[in-house]
A and B are shown apart, each in its own frame.
Chain A
Amino acid sequence: MALLSLTPFLSLAVFGLLAIPAGFLHFGKSKLGLAPFVCILGLAIALVSTVWLGFTSLSPVSFGGFQVDLFTLFFSGVLLIVAIFVTIASLQYMHEDPNKGPFFGLLLLSTLGMIVLAASMDLILLYVGWELMSIPTYALTAFRKRDPNSNEAAMKFFVLSALSSALIVYAISLVFGVTGSTGLTAIASSLSTAGPDFRPFGVLAIVLFIVGFGVKMAVVPFHMWIPDAFEGAPVTIGAFLAAGAKMAAFAAAFRVFIVGISAFNVDFYSTFAIVAVVTMSVGNVAALMQKSFTRLLAYSSIAQAGYILMALATPFTTTNVPLGLAGGLFHVLNYAILKTAAFVAAAAVATKLSVTDLESFNGLSRRMPQTSLSIAVIFLGLAGVPPLNGFFSKVMLFTGSIYSPYSWGGYLALTALINSGFSMSYYGWVIKRMYFDEPGDQSRIPEPRVYMAVLWAATILIFAIGLYPDPWIRLVQNAAAALVASRGL
């Protein structure tokens, strides 16, 4: 019975391996091949089993360092939604590409790595998940191998990402040296009694973890690769990196810091608060100066990472589940939907106009009305306008920060809100371009149906979560409670 809870993982692994040979099979004259359908089937089985498990298995199932609890299932659900959106959009985006088998196979395997990250209660498993997630994404970023931009992006991404992996391994080895264990619960109990001699090593390990995860989470000052990678990679892979890989890194950070390190008597909360403030401010200010749509999305995603980091800056007691942590998970969900949809919209524009500089968005509402409407909704959601989904997660995050026992909690929330207000200037600027400016070319552009399907699905989700947030709030509260409970104290 417990093995049933492995269904999402097994489905991704099996179909991921099947997708690569399936790329060689075609129905009749269709160029599409079998690979994308194998991919969608694998993701669908994984998502359905995740949702089913979420409703039925109330107690966590643990296989040593591998734990399937509500936190795992929550992240698995979010990441699978992202992967499904990315796959469907790639049907159109990769339509002409001959190498569909590897593309969709790598996509599935990388998704598997991400949800393994969310499930890992052991640092070695966490590292395996981390690499399983990262290595396919290097190949995916460089997928347009004749395109120099794609290669440059992949190279930059690879070098920094490899560095981050190395730092994480170093941090793991330090933690092992101090505690003699790689299991997070064992680390927690060992750290809570660690003597003063071990303290410097513990602190160094924390710093290395922050930097290592920080590269993938794109926190300032480790964010430099993000705009280049998002711009050079195939646009749908940009979505996968921005919404998938980044959120998976947050899942890893939540596990390691909340379960493992929070027992250690070190104030990493203030560090995260400072990093959060710097990240959101730099992201928002830099986004205002961008001339390309994908770069703007990249900086806005940096700013959003700053908001989610606030969840790691809210300390908690064992008795109550902090609102900020639940808000952080809620923002992970909302951000993932919004960001994937934003990149899919960018892909829709890019396939039709072949450029994504902001100039080409002038008067887009007359040329691509459905795309423009969904971009407007997505951007208002990212800015946190009610009744869209981004609003409630921000409210929970910021309120959680005000609850913080630290005296800086209120100032952190105020800074975040001012940032949130400021971010409207570039989101509004793009909406202004789409709706108020005159297009250079008046011709109506046919809007690809596949992208529109994804965009409408996302728009409906954005409104549904925003108008009736209650079930979602309960979901994230339970997921946060599961995370806190997995400390086993």
Chain B
Amino acid sequence: MIGLLSIAIFLPAVLAAPTFLLGRKNPKMAKILGVGTTVIVFAISIVILVVFQYGQAGFQLSESIPWAASFGLNYKVGIDGISLPLLMIATFLSLLSAAGSWDQITFRHAEYYALFLIFETGIIGVFTSLNLILFYLFWEIVLIPMFFFIGIWGGPRRKYASLKFLIFTYSGSAVMLFGFLALYAWTGTSAYPGGPSFDYDVLAARIPNLALPLQLAVAITTFVGFAVKLPIFPLHTWLPDAHVEAPAPVSVLLAGLLLKMGGYGLIRYNLLLFPKAVSVLWPYFTTIGLITMIYGASVALVAKDIKRMIALTSVNHMGYVLLGAFTATVAGVSGAVFQMFSHGLAVGMLFLMSGYIHEHTGTRNIDELKGLRGKMPQTVSLLFLVSMAAMAVPGFANFISEYLVIQGALSVSYLFAIAIVAPALTVGYFLWMLRRVAMTPPVGPKNELHLHSILILVAFLVPLLIFGVYPPPVLGSVIAPTVEKWVGPIVGLGAR
């Protein structure tokens, strides 16, 4: 019996074949099939949203089919309050990014949209799978299309950036895979009845009995894999290159979804699986998060290329996720999940906008964009709004999430007050960018975006504003019950 989640996961991959074959002769057909599929998948995700039972903590819409039972592998998917917001932004951003590609991708359409759909399968699979090997499989499926996106459709330094991206993230995942395999082997001995397993729920039940040094080993190796994707401070260098060189719609996927894989992995497969190890490791992990936040913001301050600046915003904002998650408080973890949701939307809009601006003005250099108000007045107004979202001005969802993260951090230790430097720096570089781009005398002639492009950009803002003003639908009835269920016991362990 094939469930809703399986349809959402595999529909794009199945339709990738006709998209490629029919699109080779007829680029328009590739565009229609590619964007059409993302629309259908988004519609399916709306159905999931309707079917989802709110206020519940367990996994829902679960499906389980033996896959390679001789090796403890099951095809097992399901969603809970942590995966639902990410599943929604995955389908939503895929739709908007595919729509944005309509104008911004100008050659080899058939290959592009076919790879795009494979990417979508991977990203939905990552957020829904409940078996470690299945998760790893989708995790890697995401990697390959992204390598080709950057390498074929990217900017001048695309070859370097794509290879660097591939090697960094693949090596990171190899270390992560060690953690998974070790977990399988160490919980698969005769001390654990039922035989070895890769299933999430089975492992979650077994891990409390695992010796602490073994838990620490797995927690640290999986942390490395997720941290490369997130990215954290010393392992982030692939990110500015990849984001800057990728075409703008792909940067939306990179910053909006690919980085969230790291954040999701950290929460689902690290924090929630190894509460005992986290109670030892949290000071190190949160410190790394803090450094990443402040480092990302400081470097963004001096970026000259607007796209590079936006890329570094991601480093800055994903640091909140790390900090929030490993405070292991209900507020911090909820904030981290919500931050992934709101940052995905805000940074996705920023990247797509930078692509449009580049297309219309021929430059991405902040100093050369002076007087943009004259050329693209509506775009500049939208730039103001999205910058406010990224700066976490109250009224936008980003404010709620960052507030929760810092609240969670402060409840753990007053030393985390230093975290407040990060939002201050963020406001600093965004305002300085706006000062140079928007608040300068307008320079003509007018060269505004098409209406459909404007509408795509506005679509990003709508959920940010709605959930910024009234967050309970996401925070209260989706994220909070799940986080309380999982994080509650961790707090009880005396993490502090």
Contact = CB atoms under 8 A, between A and B. Distances in A.
A and B interact? yes
- Among B136, B159, B185, chain A packs the most CB atoms within 10 A around the CB of B185
A262 B452 CA distance: 71
B209 to A, nearest CB: 18
A385 interface: yes
Interface stretch (B67-75, B92-100, B323-331, B339-347): B67-75
B174 A421 contact: yes
B133 A424 contact: no
Contacts of A428: 147, 163, 166-167, 170
B88 interface: no
B373 to A, nearest CB: 38
Interface string A431-443: 1100111000000
Given A402-B185, A421-B175, A469 B68 contact: yes
A436 B152 contact: yes
B59 interface: no
B137 A386 contact: yes
Query: Lowest 6 A-B CB distances belong to which pairs?
Result: A421-B174, A421-B171, A402-B185, A386-B137, A436-B151, A470-B68
Interface in B124-143: 133, 136-137, 140-141, 143
Contact of B136 (A386, A429, A436): A386
A386 B125 CA distance: 13
Given A385-B140, A428-B166, A470 B152 contact: no
Interface in B164-192: 166-167, 170-175, 177-178, 181-182, 184-186, 188
Interface in A419-433: 420-422, 424-425, 428-429, 431-432
Nearest to B133: A395
Contact of B140 (A386, A422, A425, A477): A386
A418 interface: yes
Contact of A402 (B151, B159, B174, B182): B182
A228 B185 CA distance: 40
B152 A414 contact: no
Nearest to A402: B185
Nearest to B136: A386
Contacts of A385: 140, 143-144, 170
A477 B137 contact: no
Given A386-B137, A432-B162, A398 B181 contact: yes
Interface of B: 66-71, 73, 133, 136-137, 140-141, 143-144, 147-148, 151-152, 158-159, 162-163, 166-167, 170-175, 177-178, 181-182, 184-186, 188, 217, 221
A432 B160 CA distance: 9
26 contacts: A380-B144, A385-B143, A386-B136, A391-B137, A392-B68, A398-B177, A398-B178, A402-B182, A410-B182, A414-B178, A417-B178, A418-B174, A421-B171, A421-B173, A422-B171, A424-B171, A425-B163, A425-B167, A428-B166, A432-B162, A432-B163, A435-B148, A436-B151, A436-B158, A473-B68, A473-B71
Given A399-B185, A410-B182, A436 B175 contact: no
A383 interface: yes
A335 B184 CA distance: 24
A391 B175 CA distance: 14
A10 B133 CA distance: 43
Contacts of A208: none
Q: Summarize B's interface: helix, strand, loop or mixed.
A: helix
Interface string A199-242: 00000000000000000000000000000000000000000000
A470 B185 contact: no
Contacts of A432: 151, 159, 162-163
Nearest to B69: A470
Contacts of A448: none
Contacts of B159: 432, 436-437
A398 B173 CA distance: 15
Given A428-B170, A436-B159, 9 more contacts: A386-B137, A398-B178, A402-B185, A402-B186, A414-B175, A420-B174, A424-B167, A469-B73, A473-B70
- Among A391, A420, A432, chain B packs the most CB atoms within 10 A around the CB of A432
A473 B73 CA distance: 11
Contacts of B141: 386-387
A212 B137 CA distance: 39
A428 B162 CA distance: 9
A422 B302 CA distance: 33
Contacts of B70: 470, 473-474, 477
A392 B144 CA distance: 18
Contacts of A424: 166-167, 170-171
Contact of A417 (B137, B147, B158, B175): B175
Contacts of A410: 182, 217
B221 to A, nearest CB: 8
Which size class do A's interface residues fall under?
35 or more
A454 B141 CA distance: 25
A61 to B, nearest CB: 26
Given A435-B151, A477-B70, A383 B170 contact: yes
Given A387-B141, A399-B185, A435-B152, A429 B175 contact: no
Interface in A349-397: 380, 383, 385-387, 391-392, 395-396
Interface string A452-480: 00000000000000001110011001000
Contacts of A418: 171, 174-175
Nearest to A419: B174
Contacts of B217: 410
Contacts of A431: 147
Interface string A392-416: 1001101100110000001001100
Contacts of B185: 399, 402-403
A406 B66 CA distance: 32
Contacts of B66: 470
Nearest to A436: B151
Given A385-B144, A402-B181, A417 B152 contact: no
Contacts of B136: 386
A415 to B, nearest CB: 10
A425 B164 CA distance: 9
B190 to A, nearest CB: 10
Interface string A170-188: 0000000000000000000
Contacts of B140: 385-386
Contacts of B148: 435
Nearest to A384: B174
A380 B143 CA distance: 11
Contacts of A387: 137, 141
Contacts of B162: 432, 436
B71 A396 contact: yes
- Among A395, A398, A473, chain B packs the most CB atoms within 10 A around the CB of A395
B107 to A, nearest CB: 12
A418 B181 CA distance: 13
Contacts of A403: 185, 188
Contact of A429 (B163, B174, B186): B163
A391 B185 CA distance: 17
B159 to A, nearest CB: 5
Nearest to A396: B71
